[in-house]
């Protein structure tokens, strides 16, 4: 028996990799339906352009903040699996646009849940939660050695978010739990730690770094790279690994929540050092610390423990931190080597 899967946020990094992952499992999935915002132009879906003509892939406009819009999709397709990856996912932006953040990240989830219960109770729901829900438990410093500190966050760690983004995601996380317990919703939350790739948005710090290196190596910029707190530590994995975990969660008999992480943490300074070393440069010659990029409330240290995912899902990361950084740096250097970009950015 074949399955139908619906994925929100297909224009983003995770959505594009998840579409690929499910289509690779054809004919298990007879239809993979990708939803994109009505404010998006279909021509902007560059991350999935290579998939648009796949016979099992369908794209639909949908606005999660409109109950009728999401209800129409769920009623039309009666999906076996629904992956909600759409979000206002930039922490810094959430301080500037808190209303939008809650409209998409929380009210949008309520619309999905209510539509599933009304039109397709069989649907298994995956909700993208985040390590930003954990908040501040440890203060990093220049002298801390990231990978020797035996401190982790897992499914039993208390939540204390430090941003509107984290709060909005925690509200949705708790909604899934409530509807799972009270209405027998099959809802899983993936508490994903930071995951990156060449498809990462350029407003995120990892991509900001590798994008700059791509410009620099192709003589397309004379500017310095402006960043905020270089001592913040994150558990960075590859998005390709993390979408595998999303899929595995919905293949279980019982719904549950899982932390997905590598178990290793690195500072932004570590990322900079490794990325610039790959092009034989010292990041200190190119990077400026700029107070403009400091957040009103910072989470300094995140390091996940995925023991539960390993034992129940059989999941573990396959791509190392070094491979991730290399993948991103090499992609951006190659991207900007294209002649159409041959204009200096000042």
Q: Is the dihedral of CA 338, 343, 344, 346 positive or negative?
A: negative
What is the number of helices (H) and of strands (E) in the chain?
A: 11, 13
The encoded tokens of residue 250 equal 């919905």
Q: What angle do CA 50, 53, 59 make, to 5 degrees?
A: 95
The encoded tokens of residue 127 equal 């909700």
Candidates 106, 130, 206, 265; catalytic one: 130
Task: Say whether 294 is catalytic.
Answer: no
CB 301, CB 145: distance < 8 Å: no
The encoded tokens of residue 337 equal 């080597």
What secondary structure, in 3-state letters, does 107-170 show? Answer: HHHHHHHHHHHHHCCCCEEEEEEEHHHCCCCCCCCCCCCHHHCCCCECCCCCCCCCCHHHHHHH
Candidates 8, 132, 157, 262; catalytic one: 132
Helix ranges restricted to H, the chain: 13-23, 67-77, 91-96, 98-102, 108-119, 164-183, 205-217, 239-249, 268-277, 307-313, 321-336
Q: How far apart are the C-alpha atoms of 117 and 82, rounded to whole Å? A: 13
Task: Say whether 254 is catalytic.
Answer: no
First to last CA, the chain: 56
CB 32, CB 5: distance < 8 Å: yes
**185 phi, psi to nearest 5 deg:** -65, 135
**Residues composing the chain:** 346
CB 168, CB 94: distance < 8 Å: yes
Phi-psi region of 110 (alpha: psi -120 to 50; beta: other; left: phi over 0): alpha
Task: Say whether 165 is catalytic.
Answer: yes
Distance of CA 12 to CAs 68, 269, 279, Å?
23, 26, 28
Candidates 29, 36, 77, 165; catalytic one: 165
Provide the annotated active-site residues.
130, 132, 165
């Amino acid at each position: 028996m074949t399955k139908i899967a619906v994925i929100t946020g297909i224009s983003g990094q995770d959505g594009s990799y998840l579409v690929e992952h499910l289509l690779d499992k054809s004919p298990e999935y007879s239809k993979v339906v990708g939803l994109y915002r009505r404010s998006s132009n279909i021509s902007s879906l560059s991350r999935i352009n290579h998939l648009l003509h796949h016979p099992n892939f369908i794209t639909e406009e949908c606005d999660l903040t409109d109950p009728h819009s999401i209800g129409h999709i769920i009623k039309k397709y009666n999906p076996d699996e629904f992956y909600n990856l759409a979000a206002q996912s930039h922490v810094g932006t959430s301080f500037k646009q808190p209303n939008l953040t809650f409209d998409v990240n929380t009210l949008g989830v309520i619309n999905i849940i209510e539509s599933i219960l009304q039109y397709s109770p069989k649907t298994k729901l995956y909700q993208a939660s985040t390590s930003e829900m954990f908040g501040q438990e440890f203060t990093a410093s220049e002298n801390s050695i990231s990978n020797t500190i035996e401190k982790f966050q897992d499914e039993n760690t208390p939540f204390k978010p430090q941003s509107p983004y984290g709060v909005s995601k925690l509200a949705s996380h708790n909604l899934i739990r409530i509807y799972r317990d009270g209405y027998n919703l099959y809802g899983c939350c993936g508490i994903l730690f930071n995951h990156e790739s060449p498809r990462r948005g350029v407003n995120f710090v990892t991509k900001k770094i590798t994008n700059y290196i791509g410009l620099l190596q192709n003589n397309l910029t004379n500017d310095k790279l402006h960043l905020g707190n270089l001592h913040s530590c994150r558990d960075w994995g590859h998005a390709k690994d993390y979408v595998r975990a999303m899929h595995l969660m919905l293949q279980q008999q019982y719904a549950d929540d899982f932390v997905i992480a590598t178990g290793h943490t690195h500072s932004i300074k570590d990322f900079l050092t490794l990325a610039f070393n790959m092009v034989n440069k010292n990041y200190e010659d190119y990077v400026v610390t700029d107070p403009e990029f400091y957040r009103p409330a910072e989470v300094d240290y995140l390091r996940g423990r995925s023991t539960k995912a390993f034992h129940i899902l059989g999941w573990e990361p396959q791509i190392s931190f070094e491979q991730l950084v290399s993948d991103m740096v090499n992609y951006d250097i190659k991207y900007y080597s294209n002649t159409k970009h041959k204009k200096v950015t000042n």
